[in-house]
Amino acid sequence: MRHYYTKKFGSAFSVTVVPTLKDNFSYLIHDHTTHTLAAVDVNADYKPILTFIEKHLQEHGHVGDKRHLRFILTTHKHWDHAGGNATLKAELEAMNKSESVIVIGGANDSIPAVTQPVREGDRVQVGELSVEVVDAPCHTRGHVLYKVFHPHRPNDGMALFTGDTMFVAGIGAFFEGDAEDMCRAMEKVYHINKGNDYALDPVTFIFPGHEYTAGFLSFAERTLCDRASDDLSFLQAQKEKYAAAVKRGDPSVPSSLAEEKRQNLFLRVADPAFVTLMNRGSQHALMMHLYNTCD
């Protein structure tokens, strides 16, 4: 049985990992000040999101009312990330006829039931939280990432919802893009905290679309060319940690951006020193090599 897991970001907000389907993750964002809720990547298996709201939030003294679920954020158009949008929206609006549910998704991605198309640089308010949109076309041409944080409490941390662009230690398939597109996406993730000299990397947490961690870490362990580096022992320790979590039924997510900069070889393509170390030519050539050799 796969379990829920809630990651708290100080007193500002929390993100609950909601396992769905075979290996998907949906998420529930809870603004602790206004109790506004937002669901991320809703597929047809959305009932576990409502169950968590009704039972777990009430048990912990929070407002456990589905009517507070006012937003659906969708990273991309695929059925296992967006297939529940219309049904959940209709169900919630039938409960509370005076309130509409806002469905947010990439303007270039034909998101089911979308009411607010977004693109790079757009910002949405979820209660007191800011949601910034980052374009990341490759897996699909309109894939977006969502950067969520409290604007007045940046040190509480940031949640980055990466859908099928980036996983723990890995990336998604190039269905509608190529290695150059993925390199651009990884550059954006790698440098997302550049403005504060990367000080927030340890409290920036990655929430991807699937439980693919074990396979990607095994790939990284056997592919890293510097066998004597501290990074190899780090990868091995991470692999054991995540395996133990999954054995308990816990999700392997989230991981911090600081961890990803050590364990995700695809993300590290954004680091020129790593490109040189791997000795595969250009950044794009290295990305293509990693993509083609990862099983």
Q: Which of 32, 68, 150, 210 is catalytic?
A: 210
**Is the entire prediction scored with pTM above 0.85?**
yes
Q: Which of 30, 81, 143, 150 is catalytic?
A: 81
Q: Which CATH class is domain 5-212?
A: alpha beta
Active site residue 164: yes
Active site residue 150: no
Q: What is the DSSP letter of 169?
A: T
Condensed to tens digits (0 to 9), the pLDDT of residues 84-132 reads: 999 999 999 998 876 899 999 999 999 999 999 999 999 999 999 999 9
- Reduce the DSSP state of residue 256 to 3 states and report it: strand
Give the pLDDT of the chain (295 residues) as one tens digit per residue: 899 999 999 999 999 999 999 999 999 999 999 999 999 999 999 999 999 998 876 665 555 577 789 999 999 999 999 999 999 999 999 988 768 999 999 999 999 999 999 999 999 999 999 999 999 999 999 999 999 999 999 999 999 999 999 999 999 999 999 999 999 999 999 999 998 889 999 999 999 999 999 999 999 999 988 776 888 999 999 999 999 999 999 999 999 999 999 999 999 999 999 999 999 999 999 999 999 999 8
Nearest by Cα to 36 from 18, 53, 56? 53
Condensed to tens digits (0 to 9), the pLDDT of residues 121-163 reads: 999 999 999 999 999 999 999 999 999 999 999 999 999 999 9
Q: Which of 30, 78, 143, 150 is catalytic?
A: 78
Q: Which of 41, 80, 181, 231 is catalytic?
A: 80
Active site residue 80: yes
Q: What is the DSSP letter of 33?
A: T
Max Cα-Cα span within the chain:
62
Whether 220 contacts 231, CB under 8 Å: no
d(CA 143, CA 71): 18
pLDDT of res. 57: 65
Cβ neighbours, 10 Å, residue 57: 21
Active site residue 68: no
pLDDT of res. 56: 72
Active site residue 230: no
Q: Which of 30, 32, 68, 76 is catalytic?
A: 76
Sequence ranges of the domains in the chain: 5-212
97: region left, alpha or beta (phi > 0 left; psi from -120 to 50 alpha): alpha
Q: Which of 139, 143, 150, 181 is catalytic?
A: 139
Active site residue 76: yes
pLDDT of res. 6: 96
pLDDT of res. 27: 99
pLDDT of res. 228: 67
pLDDT of res. 54: 87
Q: Which of 164, 181, 201, 231 is catalytic?
A: 164
pLDDT of res. 61: 58
Task: Please give the structure tokens belonging to residue 282.
Answer: 């250009």
Whether 213 contacts 253, CB under 8 Å: yes
Whether 46 contacts 16, CB under 8 Å: no
Residue corresponding to tokens 């890293």: 224
d(CA 49, CA 108): 27
Active site residue 210: yes
pLDDT of res. 295: 81
